A = this chain, B = another copy of it.
Amino acid sequence: MTAHDVADEPRAVTYPGVQGHDGPAREEVSVGRVTLQTIADRVGVSRMTVSNAFSRPDQLSAELRATILATADELGYVGPDPAARVLARGSSGTVGVLFTQSPGAAFRDPIAAEFFASVAESLAPTGLALALLPTTNEGDLLAARDVPMDAALVYACTVDTTALDWLRRRRLPLVFVDQEAVGPDAATVLVDDRPGARAGAQHLVDLGHRRVAMLTTAYREPPGVAPDPASAGIGHVSRERVEGWMSAFVPAGVDVVAVHMNDNQEADALAAARTALALADRPTGIVCFSDLVAWAVVRVAHELGLRVPQDVSVVGFDDSALARTVAPALTTVRQDLVAKGRSTADAIRNAIAAARQGATGSPEHVLVPTALVVRDSTGPAPG
């Protein structure tokens, strides 16, 4: 109850002399905004002591503290103002998250979502909040420039973002995920995509497949068959996977076609799947950028009357929930998103700690392992 009394006073009155720190304690200070000084005057102690009552209880006697807290409650004081505290302490308890795609994608893409879920949970015990920073800058507010934070996590961003520039200029400790670090001080958390992709491709080779397709993402490239399989894929993750696949296909002398799609979305995936399965020399094995794409391939194959895996084998990536859900269950390359999130949270904490100590040690670089998971969407090459 008491905590509410002051709220009903009109706001925005211009502080009636409360700021005059010199004057003696007043009896009627309760008008206007209540600050540490208001309480200090009322109780008859210094402002610093009131601050300690809230922030460092061991610095004053228990009874004085009780008195101060009681008075604070009586005056409707809710505790030190966060903004002021952030300024004075130089730390905000917030970690920014930068995501080039629309911020909604962090939630909609199941892989990103699972990763962020893990980050959020690993960070929670520390009390750090995750701030999703919009990259659009329509108004005068630009989150990457204006939001106080202790560090930032940069996830699969196109490098030339204004927002990222701001983070760098602010010299915030940065952790790059699924993306090469920009600048030498930043930590990275990368997935060991290449060996994983290679294992998936080798699996097809071992099953006797000699005509294969790779379906992968390439932002801003025209969708469809890529001119050169070896240099297919745009973006760190896509490139790594292509190289992994090729490192198994090329030595085996397999025929490879790469099909590009603009984004890892259902519509793009279906289109790419149609392209691949309509090739004159239809591939018998297809490696895909994600389980989502693999599933699209399965559906298009069924549409065309092809059986999976008897007529076409399909390998996904990520081992998302989808891989186990659909029929046939997908052979895929697993990445441990929970571990990835945890490593990222650790890297963030370390980066913050290092920055606080002014440490100039080399940044952390984590590699998250991958593993092939064989299920029902792959089988021996037909014929």
Cα-based distance from A121 to B114 in the complex (angstroms): 19
Cα-based distance from A120 to B132 in the complex (angstroms): 8
Is A124 an interface residue when CB atoms closer than 8 A count as contact? Answer: yes
Write out the residue numbers on chain B whose beta carbons fall within 8 Å of the beta carbon of A12: 358
Evaluate contact between A103 and B130: CB separation under 8 angstroms: yes
Cα-based distance from A220 to B148 in the complex (angstroms): 39
* Chain A residues touching B, range: 35 or more
Is A113 an interface residue when CB atoms closer than 8 A count as contact? Answer: yes
Is A71 an interface residue when CB atoms closer than 8 A count as contact? Answer: no
Name the residue among A3, A108, A135 with the largest chain B CB count within 10 angstroms.
A108
Chain B nearest CB from A147 CB (Å) reads 5
Write out the residue numbers on chain B whose beta carbons fall within 8 Å of the beta carbon of A133: 129
Write out the residue numbers on chain B whose beta carbons fall within 8 Å of the beta carbon of A7: 171
Is A92 an interface residue when CB atoms closer than 8 A count as contact? Answer: yes
Cα-based distance from A110 to B229 in the complex (angstroms): 35
Evaluate contact between A139 and B127: CB separation under 8 angstroms: yes
Cα-based distance from A105 to B118 in the complex (angstroms): 9
Stretch of A77-85, A187-195, A201-209, A256-264 lying at the B interface:
A77-85
Cα-based distance from A135 to B124 in the complex (angstroms): 8
Evaluate contact between A358 and B120: CB separation under 8 angstroms: no
A residues lining the B interface (CB < 8 Å): 3, 7, 10-12, 78-79, 81-87, 90, 92-94, 96, 102-108, 113-114, 116-118, 120-121, 123-143, 145-149, 169-171, 325-326, 358
* CB pairs A–B below 8 angstroms (20 shown): A7-B171, A78-B169, A78-B170, A79-B145, A81-B87, A83-B86, A84-B87, A86-B86, A86-B148, A87-B87, A92-B148, A103-B130, A105-B117, A120-B132, A125-B139, A127-B137, A127-B141, A128-B134, A129-B143, A132-B132
